[in-house]
Amino acid sequence: MKTNIVKINKLEAVDANIIQAAKIIRSGGLVAFPTETVYGLGANGLDAKAAAGIYAAKGRPSDNPLILHVCDFAMLADLVVEIPETAKKIITAFCPGPITMILKHKAVVPSAITGGLDTVGIRMPDDDIARALIRLAGVPIAAPSANTSGRPSPTTAAAVLADLNGKIDMLIDGGASTFGVESTIVDCTGLLPTVLRPGAITMEMLTEVLGEVALDPALVGADVVPKAPGMKYRHYAPKAPLVVIKGNCTKLVDRFLAEIKDAALQKKQIGLIVSAELAKKLPTDCETFIYGSQTDLSAIAASLYEGLRSFDDKKVDVLFAEATSEIGLGLAIMNRLNKASGFNTITA
């Protein structure tokens, strides 16, 4: 299969490339497209065979549910049994935006999308290209991240091509994603809204709108049946083993220096994913990706996957990444680093 690559700098009222992409979706094909979080790999969300194409292209386990992307409230209402009060508050406050709601689905949603569950994740992306594609396709679009399963998610078209070139029908290059981490996922089916995956809509933001909000035990490594993508399997992983080091000030620097020295004695090539502040205190002869300043978590989130991917073509035996705080957006960043490392964490 040859992947047709199109670039859209500015969305026109009637865009021929979006029309073509919508036809591919309706006919059961696969289209990678930009969203404000990461690039998605889209297929007709009401077509079980098309969903199977997503799993095949990504090498994704079939019990890992897919998120349905909708363009408006009416399309959402057609897919779910009810819209509980929690979901209504989320829609009012955050939609369209980087948030996914877990809701009870109607029979129209195939089990190939839901992993056999009676619930489905639904979100309304805040990206003009994404919403235009959904609207013109006339169906909800099932879209996990457009990468090989388990790898760091793509925030650019180039990252999509690195994993899926020749495996999908079309790629829409809409530039770099804004947020750089996937949507926040909130389970709205219980008495207490529960965050299954942290993202740009933070716990603090949700609490302000919803009141009490729970955090799912799976976020700290518990073994559960996944209600949402990224809960059961190792995700976001670079090719080299990753170790996350957390701590502060002098102890953090000392621990990094000790780990670097130990790895060097073992003749290992070392890669570092660290803040600008820490980089100044570490050896300059290590391959280093500076993900930003610890004072700007949004910049770290936006560059995190780029950093994880940047070492894949380098001769690196082990990666050491600096942890962030877990306040606000830091919770999402640390969720991704923990999953990418398989919870391989050192505390200084």
Average pLDDT, the chain: 93
> Could you give the CA distance from residue 206 to residue 94 in angstroms, rounded to a whole number?
9
pLDDT at 112: 94
Report whether pLDDT(41) > 80.
yes
CB distance 202 to 97 below 8 Å: no
List the one residue out of 238, 246, 256 whose CA is nearest residue 309: 238
| Residue 222 binned pLDDT confidence (cut-offs 50, 70, 90) | very low
- Residue appearing with tokens 């919803």: 210
Report whether pLDDT(46) > 70.
yes
CB distance 144 to 40 below 8 Å: yes
Instruction: Give the rounded percent of residues in the chain with a pLDDT score beyond 70.
Output: 95
> Could you give the CA distance from residue 259 to residue 270 in angstroms, rounded to a whole number?
10
> Could you give the CA distance from residue 125 to residue 140 in angstroms, rounded to a whole number?
12
Torsion angle (degrees, nearest 10) of CA 245, 251, 254, 260: -10
pLDDT at 211: 95
Token couple for 206: 């949700």
Asked, as a colleague might, if the bond just before 96 is cis with ω within 30 of 0, I would say yes
CB distance 65 to 120 below 8 Å: yes
Output the CA torsion sign for 167, 171, 175, 180: negative
Coil, helix or strand at residue 244: strand
Contacting residues for 281 by C-beta, under 8 A, at least 6 apart: 253
Question: In terms of pLDDT, which residue wins out, 177 or 232?
Answer: 177
Report whether pLDDT(228) > 70.
no
Token couple for 220: 């700290």
| Number of other CB atoms surrounding residue 66 within 10 Å | 29
Token couple for 72: 């408006």
> Could you give the CA distance from residue 44 to residue 75 in angstroms, rounded to a whole number?
13
Report whether pLDDT(171) > 50.
yes
> Could you give the CA distance from residue 329 to residue 153 in angstroms, rounded to a whole number?
17
